[in-house]
Every structure is written in structure tokens, then in C-alpha cells.
Structure 1
Amino acid sequence: MAEPSATGRFGEFGGRFVPETLVPACQELEVAFAEAWADPVFRAELDHVLRTYAGRPSMLTECKNLGEQLGIRLVLKREDLNHTGSHKINNVLGQALLAKRMGKKRLVAETGAGQHGVASATAAALFGMECKVYMGAVDVERQALNVFRMKLLGSEVEAVHSGSRTLKDAVNEAMRDWVATVETSHYCLGSVMGPHPYPWMVREFHRVLGDEAREQCIELLGDVPDVAVACVGGGSNAIGLFSGFVDHRTRLVGVEPAGGAAVARAQPGVVHGMRSYLMQDEYGQVQEAHSISAGLDYPGVG
């Protein structure tokens, strides 16, 4: 598994493209995460809360009927059975524990489908922190149940009406909030995007998903799978699964939305503090992504 360079890059990608006001905050976060990740006490506390609160390990389910029709053995890693209903809780619990360790009192988060927002609101309630979630106005309408859940957990939800009114714009507003409140707030970014150390940090918090899946596949199937498939929006789900198999013979397949195919159709560019593949026009302006799925309409990829 590749590690970031001293400047936070993975090859030509990644990095830290932020205003001067955020450089100290990113540096502070990088040092804090490196120290925490090397601390057995922090790792043990995170493992404990993942087991006793999030419900890890999540089960592996074999789809025998569909597998027989296709002539394969097909298994699903059931992250939907985690507390709050998705893989997002893995990263959020890690970041919330880190924020608490850093003395932060407030979480700021963005959300698309609402799962990261619900997970952030849940972690804030668990650890006695304030939480504000930014969500595109389009997503607020189509994910009303998750908005209700976030508010029920005590978090403030702000609908973002600028731009395409979806995930990209929610990230913009969350980062603006972080700039203004950096002394007391931690930006709990929900995917492997943003400035260093976020892609590295989020990958490490999500790799429990892939590590479990690899061991479960070996136990159930007798070997690692031939192919591992994951949807790709910002990339948190995919990097979690792929991290367990990248050093093995398993072929890794990411499935993007046709209206947001950053890897398949885009060119390298800079967005949200990182260099990555980005949907952009001939002048380098970010294009709008589209997907019927609220969590996949992101114009870049982690």
C-alpha cells in the first residue's frame, strides 16, 4: 500500500492546495494523525468503539441464487449493516476521536446522500460535540429522511443553494466554515479527497473494511477473490475495499456514474485542495456531475 510523500502526494496526485489561512490547520492535523495512528492506545480505543458501537466486523453474504445464474461465486461486504447504515461510520469515528484528542469541540461535515452527515451527527452526539452538516439543496429534498435523522441527533443542517446545489457545493461551504472556525472546529471530510492529510487519513480509517473482507473471503472461499467491485463517487467506499486487496492478485473494479465519470473521462486538475482526475471544461472550470444517486454526483475522485 503506497504511502504519501512528504508533500502529501501519491505520485502526481494529492498534495495540499489551500489558502494560507488553512496551511497551519492542515499541518496540525497531519502531525496529530501521524502521532495518533502510531499510538497503540488510540488504535485500541478506535478498535473498541468500532466493535462495540459501529458493530464491526460487518458480515459477508454470499448471493447463491444470483451467483448460480451468473456462473460465479458472488459475495457482498455488508457495510449497510453497520450502525447508521453505511461504511461512513468507520472514518467518522476515527476522525471524531482524533478531533477530541486535539481538543476540538465542534465537527463540520459535508454530505451528499446523507450517510456521512448521519454518521457525523451520530459521532458528535456520542462524544458530546457540536455538529454542523452542509448539504446541497437538491440532496436535502431527495434525502429528507437523512436530514431528519441528523436533526434528531442534535446537528444543524444547512442547505447549500449555490452552484449545482449538490455534494461539490456542500464541500465548498464546509471548507469555508472550517477556515472561519479552525481554532475550535474539525472538518470531518467524508471521502478520500481534500488537502493532505485527508486522503491518507480517510483511507487508513476505512481500510478496516478491506482487511475484514480479505480475511472473510479467504475463510469462506479459500482464497482472495478474482475481482473486487466498488462504486466510486468521492472514493471512500472503494478505497476501503481496495486497500485490502491492492497487494494481492485481485483485480480492482471501480464503477462510476455515467454523469460523473471522473476517472474514465476526465483530466487531471485541482479541486477541493487536491490534484486528481476532475471533470472540467476547456478553460479548466469544474463541470457539474450528475447521478440519480445522491452520493455519486461528484466531479472528481479521491
Structure 2
Amino acid sequence: MKYSINDFPDKNGFYGKYGGSFLSPEMNEEFQRINDFYQRIRNDAEFIDELKYIRKHYQGRPTPITFAKNLTDKLGGAAIYLKREDLNHTGAHKLNHAMAYGLVAKKMGKTKIIADTGAGQHGVAMAAAAAYFGMECDIYMGKIDAEKEAPNVDRMKIMGTNVIVVEDGAGKLIDAAAASFAAYEKDYERCFYPIGSALGPAPIPQMVRDFQSIVGKEAREQFAEMTDGKMPNKVIAVVGGGSNAMGLFSGFIDNDDIELLAAEALGKMREGEEERVGEHAATATFGEFRTMSGFKSLALAEEDGTPKPAYSVASGLDYPGLGPELAYLKEIGRIKFNAINDEEAIDAFYDLSKAEGIIPALESSHALALAMKMAPSHPGETFLVNLSGRGDKDIEFVLNNFDK
């Protein structure tokens, strides 16, 4: 089925049957105000010019594409190219939406940011945005993630952000999300709530996709320049909620001959095994159609929307939900999902580090692992992988638990 970004979402924030906003009447009104404001300014020349200036002079965009020659030679088969979002300021793609969120919040007259984070990259990005725009910032982070990703906690604090460690529940991203939204509900008139992925109540999935689309736009032009006008055969990104994936995919989705592949977290399981709840975060593989966290999509949840436990070695992936646009693209067959387990991701983390001198985030290592699995059997093809973040935050954890 032919898919055009311009046709989605509909006026109610749906992608097929996925999406929408299912919150309390008061919060639905607030998200509608955000939607009305965003639709007014998203194509405004002044807003676009301000964002372009920030991206060039603060973020350091454009980020380059690197041909991973040594890794390609080692694997044989397809040539692997990397879109280097790890070189974006703060170390990941998250700043692409964080700075745009901050600009929107400032124009709306908001004075404080309230957000949550898993691996800490969204939190660090929002801390930077808050500092840049002169806003207060509270970031909620699960206890387990805060301990695991301690360097990012320190970075947020240094930038003036108040980091609130959530000990309720499993101490993970889903718990931080619940706590942060509860705080936002009490103070929404002066606060802005920037969700860190392409999911949540409308209009958040559209906003994040639009803000991240710079990745796909740059990558398309850069890849053509590097390959005498050719396009990649396969475009690969990791999927937790969907921000980096929709960013890269948006630049190639109109080309039906380009295969779009998403890697999700299989955790402690192996391919083909029956589901073991709490040992994976493979929502596209095992999730069901649910209303969870204020929107309809695929989720690892009970019928009433109560989340089931999710797990991944990568903190940014252990969330039990999937962005609504990605769920729809899966349904119509435009994106193919593949599950990558912890072991494969860790191997990819080391392989890229040793072959190219580039240390990837554990989240990005899932996309890289998928490319590495497929490359030997696709000689003559080109793969473009979104290296969505750098692995500085993961080094201590990996060496302590998977020292190779």
C-alpha cells in the first residue's frame, strides 16, 4: 500500500485505527490547545527559520553519513552506511525534537518542562533545551535506569535540571512516565510535557515525527551524494516508541522499492521462542491492540490497558508500547519488524567499536545487529542504518556485565 506522510494523521490524530487522544476531559482540552497551536506554526516561516538556526549553530547539524568500510569488509555482502546521530549535540537524535519542543513551549508562554526518560538521552536533551530557552526543568527517571545510566543523571544535574528518581513499580521508564504525567496534570497551565518518542496522545506522534524528519531529509541527500545518485536498498532503525525510526524512515517512505526495517528488543529471548512476559520489549511481535497511556496502538498490556512488564538491555527500549504511526505502517506492510536479543546487540556494540572506532548506544546496537545479521546474504546491496546515539552512557554498564 502506498503511504504518504502528508496524509497522516487525520484531523483527530489517527493513523488508521491507531492514535487519538484518550485522557481526562481537562487534559484532552490541553492537548487540543497544543495541537491547535502547533498546526498554526508548523509551516510558519519564522518558526522554521528559528529552528534551522538552532540546528545549525547549536546542535551542529547536519550530521554526516559514514561508510563502515571495515565492518563491511569483515561481514562480506551488503555495504553498511551509518547515519551519525551520535554526533548530534548531547549524543543522540533526541535533541532534534527536544529543541523544537522547547521552541514551541516558549512560544506558548510555558515556563517549565516536565518530562520522563529511560536511557537518559531524552532527559539530557530536554535539560539542554531548558537551559537554552531559560526554562525550569524536572526530569523523572526510574530508579533502575538512574543507577544504570548514572552519567546521564549527572549531565542533567550539571545543566540545572531537577532529576526525580522514581522508586515505585519496577523503577523503569513506564513508572517514570506515570509519575511525570501525574506531576504535569497538577501544573499544566505553566508547564509543557514533551514525550520523548513518537507515541502518546495526539498531537505528540506527529510533532515528534515532524521534528525528527530532519534525519531522513539529510540522509537522503547525503546518501545520493556519496553513491552517485543511488538510494539504499534497505533502511534500518531501532524501534522503542519510534522517534529515531520515523525520523529516518520519513525520508525514504515514498520509495516503495526501498525496504524499511525496524529492529525491536527481544531481550533475554531467542528468535522463534514463545513469549515470556517480562523478558522482552518486542511490542510489534507480541503486542495487542490496546488503549494505553492515552492513545490506541499495539502494546504489551492487559485488556484494560494495564502495562505488562517490559525488558531490554537497552534502557531506552524497555517500554511496553509502540508509536501509532509505526503500528499502522506494520499493519499495511510498509515496515517489517525484526526482533534482536540482548546478546546480538552486545555483540554489535563491540563489533562496531573495534572495527570502526565508533561506540554505539545499546539502543542503536539493535539496529546495527539487524544489519550485521542480514548483510552477508545480500551482496551488492547497500544498507543505511540510523546510529541513533553514542554509547558513552553504556560503557560502564557493558564492561561490568558483558566484558569482552
What range is the shorter-chain TM-score in?
Answer: over 0.9
Give, in angstroms, the shift of residue 72 of structure 1. Answer: 1.6
SS at match of 1:256: strand
- For the pair 1:67 / 2:75, whether they are aligned, the reply is no
- What is the rounded CA distance, in whole Å, between the counterparts of 2:126 and 2:306 in structure 1? 30
Preserved CA contact (<8 Å) 2:291 2:297: yes
Preserved CA contact (<8 Å) 1:63 1:76: yes
- For the pair 1:233 / 2:254, whether they are aligned, the reply is no
- What is the rounded CA distance, in whole Å, between the counterparts of 1:164 and 1:276 in structure 2? 23
Query: After superposition, where does 1:17-32 map in structure 2 within 5 Å?
Result: 17-32=22-37
With over 3 angstroms needed to count, the CA separation of the structure-2 counterparts of 1:73 and 1:18, relative to structure 1, is same
The aligned counterpart of 1:88 is 94
Supply the AA of the counterpart residue of 2:181. M
Query: After superposition, where does 1:68-217 map in structure 2 within 5 Å?
Result: 68=73, 69-217=75-223
- What is the rounded CA distance, in whole Å, between the counterparts of 2:121 and 2:322 in structure 1? 18
Supply the AA of the counterpart residue of 1:63. A
Supply the AA of the counterpart residue of 2:109. G
- What is the rounded CA distance, in whole Å, between the counterparts of 2:222 and 2:198 in structure 1? 24
Q: Between the two proteins, what is the percent identity of the paired residues?
A: 42
Preserved CA contact (<8 Å) 1:263 1:301: yes
SS at match of 2:315: coil
Preserved CA contact (<8 Å) 1:226 1:251: yes
Give, in angstroms, the shift of residue 107 of structure 1. Answer: 0.6
Give, in angstroms, the shift of residue 284 of structure 1. Answer: 5.1
Supply the AA of the counterpart residue of 2:294. G
The aligned counterpart of 2:292 is 271
SS at match of 1:158: strand
TM-score by length of 2: 0.73
- What is the rounded CA distance, in whole Å, between the counterparts of 1:30 and 1:284 in structure 2? 24
- What is the rounded CA distance, in whole Å, between the counterparts of 1:285 and 1:41 in structure 2? 42
Structure 1 or 2, whichever has the larger Rg, is 2
Residue deviations 1:243-272, cap 9 Å, x none? 111111211111011100001111111111
- What is the rounded CA distance, in whole Å, between the counterparts of 1:154 and 1:282 in structure 2? 40
The aligned counterpart of 2:258 is 250
The aligned counterpart of 1:16 is 21
Preserved CA contact (<8 Å) 1:193 1:272: no
Give, in angstroms, the shift of residue 282 of structure 1. Answer: 6.3
- What is the rounded CA distance, in whole Å, between the counterparts of 2:168 and 2:37 in structure 1? 33
Instruction: Report 1 or 2 for greater relative contact order, CA contacts < 8 Å, sequence distance ≥ 6.
Output: 2
Question: Moved runs in structure 1, 4+ residues, more than 2 A?
Answer: 280-285
SS at match of 2:316: coil
Preserved CA contact (<8 Å) 2:292 2:306: no
- What is the rounded CA distance, in whole Å, between the counterparts of 1:231 and 1:70 in structure 2? 22
Residue deviations 1:191-239, cap 9 Å, x none? 0111000000110000000111111111112311110111111111111
SS at match of 1:154: coil
- What is the rounded CA distance, in whole Å, between the counterparts of 1:284 and 1:190 in structure 2? 20
Bigger Cα displacement from structure 2, 160-169 vs 206-215: 160-169
- What is the rounded CA distance, in whole Å, between the counterparts of 1:189 and 1:285 in structure 2? 19
Superposed CA RMSD in Å reads 1.1
Which structure 2 segments of 5+ residues have no match? 267-279, 324-404
SS at match of 1:95: helix
Give, in angstroms, the shift of residue 153 of structure 1. Answer: 0.3
Aligned to 2:61, which of 56, 61, 69?
56
- What is the rounded CA distance, in whole Å, between the counterparts of 1:282 and 1:97 in structure 2? 37
SS at match of 2:307: coil
- What is the rounded CA distance, in whole Å, between the counterparts of 2:32 and 2:303 in structure 1? 33
Preserved CA contact (<8 Å) 2:141 2:172: yes
Supply the AA of the counterpart residue of 1:253. L
Aligned to 1:35, which of 40, 56, 70?
40
With over 3 angstroms needed to count, the CA separation of the structure-2 counterparts of 1:199 and 1:282, relative to structure 1, is closer
SS at match of 1:295: helix
Give, in angstroms, the shift of residue 136 of structure 1. Answer: 0.7
Residue deviations 1:77-128, cap 9 Å, x none? 0000011000000000001000000000001111000000000000100110
Which structure 1 segments of 5+ residues have no match? none
- What is the rounded CA distance, in whole Å, between the counterparts of 2:306 and 2:57 in structure 1? 45
With over 3 angstroms needed to count, the CA separation of the structure-2 counterparts of 1:284 and 1:121, relative to structure 1, is closer
Residue deviations 1:4-42, cap 9 Å, x none? 111110100000011112012101100111111121100
Preserved CA contact (<8 Å) 1:150 1:157: yes
